[in-house]
Homo-oligomer: A and B are copies of this chain.
Amino acid sequence: MRSLLLVSAALLVAAAPPAKLKAPSEIVAEAPASAWRDINPDNLVVMDLRNGARVVIQLAPEFAPVHVANIRALAKGNWWSGAAIYRVQDNYVVQWGNNESTRPLPPGVIAKPPAEYHRSLKGLSVRPLGYADDYAPSAGFAGGWPIGYDPKTGTANLTHCYGYVGVGRDLSPDTGTGGELYAVIGHAPRHLDRNIAVVGRVIEGIDRLSSLPRGTEALGFYKDESMQVPISAVRLASEIPATERPAYQFMDTGSATFGAYVKARANRKDDFFIRPAGGVDLCNAAVPVRKKSA
């Protein structure tokens, strides 16, 4: 039989003795309805590419309200019409958008938003990860998001995990409207935390971004425009007729189910695993998201 590296526990559950710890995927599959939260359609950006791929981004207004308001206004203003993915750098980021300095911004877009690189801990209900973090004094989850935080300064920031979306900017920290965005497609570049505004995460279609050919120029820019991937439309889900509108839920990071999920991620004991790690890093405990059935 062909070696089945990393057989998912879902395939094995029938044979697993009851004493085994549940696999993370089982915990998610069995989560009660109360562990899930609907995502507001105003916080969902639906980006359709001309190659037929759909990429859906969940926005995080709790962490970058001005940038998120800009992104909503850019979508409503049809600003990304004619835009493209123009940069794909291996083990790093995919980047797309329009040139902010030459294309007029739609009404309501703030040209120079503040540097929303962290926020106050106040108002956040934090679940500590329970394991060390190399990029912040503490790591954990709040409101469905992974965060680094510092109880001493009372600040918290969204983190650059796989699939997370940030705002391209120039060297000055107050630039970057949200008109040029990137998504992480490699090992979490956490050194970017608190240096760039993180505005959300890709919750569908990251595989269609991560599998694009890498750009051959410095920083992964495509050498010529013919290699770019055109975007056909970027809309808020709330702009899409309700009957066609995609809907998603994320797991409440304050729920007991999420606590069990993190524990299972840190202590894999399903059949394949011989030695549980006894720990997990923040970006290896991705907050579960699912499509909401109609």
Contacts and interface: CB of A to CB of B under 8 A. Distances in A.
Which secondary structure dominates chain A's binding surface?
loop
Interface string A85-126: 001101111010101110000000000000101000000000
Contacts of A207: 90, 214
Interface in A42-57: none
Interface residues of A, number: 76
Contacts of A27: none
A243 B91 CA distance: 32
A170 to B, nearest CB: 6
Contacts of A206: 90-91
A134 B210 contact: no
Contacts of A213: 211
Interface of A: 1-8, 11, 87-88, 90-93, 95, 97, 99-101, 115, 117, 131-135, 161-163, 166, 168-171, 173, 175-176, 180, 182, 185-196, 206-207, 210-214, 218-219, 265-266, 268, 271-277, 279-281, 283-284
Given A3-B175, A5-B196, 18 more contacts: A1-B170, A3-B97, A3-B180, A4-B168, A6-B192, A117-B274, A132-B132, A132-B134, A135-B277, A135-B281, A186-B186, A186-B187, A187-B187, A187-B283, A188-B284, A190-B284, A191-B280, A211-B211
